Amino acid sequence: MPLDASVVRVPKAGELVAAELRRKIVTGELEVGEPLPSEANLMTQFGVSRPTLREAFRILESEQLIRVLRGARGGARVLKPDPTVAARYTGVLLQSAGTPLVDVYRARATLEEAAIGMAAGRRLAANVKELDRLLDEGAGLIEDPSAYAEHDIVFHLAVVDLAANTTLRVMADMLLHIIAAHNRAFIAAHSEGYELPANRTAQRAHGKLVRLLEAEDLEAAQLHWRRHLEGVEKYMVADSKESIVDVLSATTYG
């Protein structure tokens, strides 16, 4: 059966130029902070007009892969790929599908539980050492809700790192950026000191996880962490009316 030519879309020249520059950025061929070649050089390299090149720049700027400075000392410079961009866009996609905030918490729990199950060998010992260091650090932050919330995100990312799986880490980064934004909104919406009991509970849960991992009892560690994250979900979103987009748009990423 012949293809319907009406549904075949040929990429525009600007999109093709953006795709090639994007490839060079993500592979490290163009390093973070490095200026792109001049417009004249890029126009010659790709055989395109200035409007086409600037269209490519607009695409890459929207993805926050470059920053274009105007003026005599202007030009385009490479930025580090930012997971907050994916988090915001993912938030919009989830909300457009009518996804409640609780889905993010449940997805995070499933991902972290899986990461614990994937831990093994020398990697486990090294990661447990890092988790133990973070445990000590967290003990001194309990009385500061904002600082402890930021620390808690780092601890959860370290749990995901047990899997040594880049794809899981990227997914966790995205989900935890959304959760970090919700943490800030939650703290702002409650009276001073409201979070202290929850911080102490979280710190105890972190400590028990470290002890179970030190004993290499991954099954018990998974069960414990799943129960802990179910409690976090109930505490954070049980009565929340906020949407994912509301959380992301109302909070500034650090």
What's 34's domain CATH number?
Answer: 1.10.10.10
Q: Same domain for 112 and 213?
A: yes
Task: Look at residues 18, 47, 78 and tell me which one is the last residue of a structural domain.
Answer: 78
Contact 50, 43 (CB under 8 A): yes
Residue with tokens 């003990």: 139
Q: Same domain for 62 and 146?
A: no
HSE (side-chain half, CA atoms, 13 Å) at 201: 14
Q: Same domain for 91 and 26?
A: no
pLDDT band at 220 (very low <50, low <70, confident <90, very high): very high
Higher pLDDT, 131 or 70: 131
Q: Same domain for 56 and 144?
A: no
CB count, 10 Å around CB of 120?
Answer: 13
Rg (CA), the chain: 22
Q: Same domain for 208 and 230?
A: yes
What the block records as the tokens of 41 is 């050089």
pTM of the model: 0.75
Q: Same domain for 58 and 97?
A: no
The count of domains in the chain is: 2
What the block records as the tokens of 162 is 């047990």
Q: Same domain for 73 and 119?
A: no
Is it the case that residue 253 has pLDDT exceeding 50?
no
pLDDT (tens digit, 9 = 90+) per residue, 42-53? 999 999 999 999
Is it the case that residue 6 has pLDDT exceeding 60?
no
Q: Same domain for 143 and 37?
A: no
CA separation, residue 106 to residues 5, 15, 44, 90, 236 (Å): 42, 36, 50, 16, 12
Task: Look at residues 56, 78, 100 and tell me which one is the last residue of a structural domain.
Answer: 78
pLDDT (tens digit, 9 = 90+) per residue, 131-189? 999 999 999 999 999 999 999 999 999 999 999 998 999 899 889 988 998 999 899 98
What the block records as the tokens of 186 is 């939650």
Q: Same domain for 243 and 139?
A: yes
Task: Look at residues 78, 101, 134 and tell me which one is the last residue of a structural domain.
Answer: 78
pLDDT band at 242 (very low <50, low <70, confident <90, very high): low
CA pair distance 158, 162, nearest whole angstrom: 7
CA-nearest of 69, 67, 59 to 14 is 59
Q: Exposed/middle/buried for 115, CB within 10 Å: 0-12, 13-18, 19+?
A: buried
Range name among 37-41, 79-83, 108-112, 185-189 with the lowest pLDDT average: 79-83
β-sheet bridge partners, residue 66: 78
Q: Same domain for 143 and 220?
A: yes
Q: Exposed/middle/buried for 127, CB within 10 Å: 0-12, 13-18, 19+?
A: buried
CA pair distance 62, 77, nearest whole angstrom: 14
CA pair distance 100, 107, nearest whole angstrom: 12
CB count, 10 Å around CB of 185?
Answer: 16
Domain that holds residue 172: 84-250
pLDDT band at 106 (very low <50, low <70, confident <90, very high): very high
Contacts of 227 (CB under 8 A, 6+ apart): none
pLDDT of 93 reads 84
